[in-house]
Amino acid sequence: MSHYDAIVIGSGFGGSVAALRLTEKGYRVLVIEKGKRFAASDFPRTNWDLKRWMWRPELGLTGIFQMSFLEHVTVMHGVGVGGGSLVYANTLPTPKDPFFESTSWSSLASWKKELEPHYATARRMLGAAKNPLMTRGDEVLRSIAKELGREEHFHATDVAVYFGKPNASVADPYFGGKGPDRVGCNFCGSCMTGCRVGAKNTLDRNYLYLAELGGAKVVAETEVTAVRPGAEGGYRVETRASFGRGEPAVLTADKVFFAGGVMGTVPLLLAMKEDPHGLPHLSSKVGGSVRTNSEAIAGIIVPRADEDFSKGVAITSILHTDEHSHIEPVRYGAGSGFFRTIVLPQTSGSSVASRLGGAAMQVASHPMRWLKAYTVRDFAKQSQVLLYMRTLEGTLTMTLGRGLRTGFRRGVVTRLDDPMNAPQANMPEALELARRFAEKVGGVSATLLTETVLGVPSTAHILGGACMGDSAASGVIDSSNRVFGYDGLYVVDGSAVSANPGVNPSLTITALAERALSLVPAKA
């Protein structure tokens, strides 16, 4: 049985920080990742290559992108060595003051002051740079900003991308030559299907790369099934192969860091709390206060073949429409048209009948435009995704149970904490912004069929479920990310984010993990 000083479950933003900082402090570290390790050439050329893009191993799909369909939200998340960084849209915004001052956690620390140096470290490690290329979609959004009197609130994004000479390779420009070579971004738009160029600063090219250089071990294609207290202290970590016929294994560690993202960490903690031989003394708050960025997603499809929205990094600009909300233009690279198979007209309504009726009316009012939209040759080139987000709160609770969406097998189910403040699929301002954009480019506005038919919102930013508190009565972890009741257990991923940042959360998860790891003492 192999023993480690620390085992890190997951290799996303929190897990990668833990791997590097623990290694630097002298710990013998193992990182366990359920997905595969990808080289640049392993990523799919388009998202039609489902085997390389989508994660559904029971169907032979072992890619970087997973969709989880829950009762009250559809979650899009990443899988693989590097976690969400492989598939995320690169953006690295810092939240505004309401996030740090939220009553859900503000009593625990002066968060803005506490996190400021760690945000700086995270930006440096992730290679944050200002997007230099304004695209067709950005100019349309800028014109909307001007009409709204908000032009000064429109700006280019900060992104984790190397902008050198396009397609030209250079020696590591970030870590004094210790890191891998980088290649200048060519603005192909394929950030979210995996960067085949070598310009995207994914975690396997910074935190994880340096951790492995320092001696950390990363094991891929392995899933953790249980974490139990060891008979002589520390913890037993039980694993199995993610796919194939590998034998189950048991490892031991003095410390365990949960970093599998909300959809990995929270179900594992819930299962361990139910198991009398697992972690039965976990807080009853496990699975509580799960939140999103209150997103709304629209796809503006333009029938004209001369339009091309596919060039640029994944997200190129941001328009802050008010103190609580903003909208971003998002893109996939040319040829990545998978989502055409699961979109319907965007509409509003409180019932299935009203939403379907609204969708039918949209098609009836512009039948030829919709026919052309559904039959465009290159869906990615002729569509602009719009991502609208808010800082306002609306939370869910995750539990384990059976239902239609779990295939009546035991799995994650959700319930609304407050139906009056729940995540929404149809928000009036988001619908109006999408309408304005569509009018300017002669297009139509669509969204995922789960939103139009079921009224279930979608998110790529699922957070919470193992939130902070001043005791086990109010949270799962303390303000240093330590699990109440279990010395040596930590949660350092998005599950620990205890308020809605209202922006893409990757930088915040990284900064919170940096702070947590700064408080872990060096190995004696």
Q: How far apart are CA 511 and CA 142, in angstroms?
A: 30
Q: Parallel, antiparallel, or unpaired: how do β-strands 458-459 and 235-241 relate? A: unpaired
In the block, which residue shows the tokens 């596919």? Answer: 310
| CA gap 358, 174 in Å, rounded | 51
Query: Roughly what angle, to the nearest 10 degrees, separates helices 352-365 and 367-374?
Result: 100
Residue 420, phi then psi, degrees to nearest 5: -75, -20
Which amino acid is located at 141 in the chain? L
Least Cα distance to 463 among 394, 377, 362 occurs for 394
Q: Which residues neighbour 247 within 8 Å (Cβ) at sequence distance 6 or greater? A: 241
Q: Which two tokens stand for residue 460?
A: 């790529």
366 as an active site residue: the answer is: no
The rounded distance, in Å, linking the Cα atoms of 470 and 484 is 9
Catalytic: which of 77, 320, 326, 461?
461
Which distant-in-sequence residues (6+ apart) come within 8 Å of 426 by Cβ?
Answer: 296, 346, 347, 348, 349, 355, 451, 455
Backbone angles phi, psi at 174, to 5 degrees: -110, -35
* Cα atoms found within 13 Å of the Cα of residue 484, Cβ hemisphere only: 22
Ramachandran area for residue 496 (φ above 0: left; ψ -120 to 50: alpha; else beta): alpha
Question: What is the DSSP code (8-state) at residue 376?
Answer: -
Distance CA 195, CA 199 (A): 7
Residues marked active site are found at 461
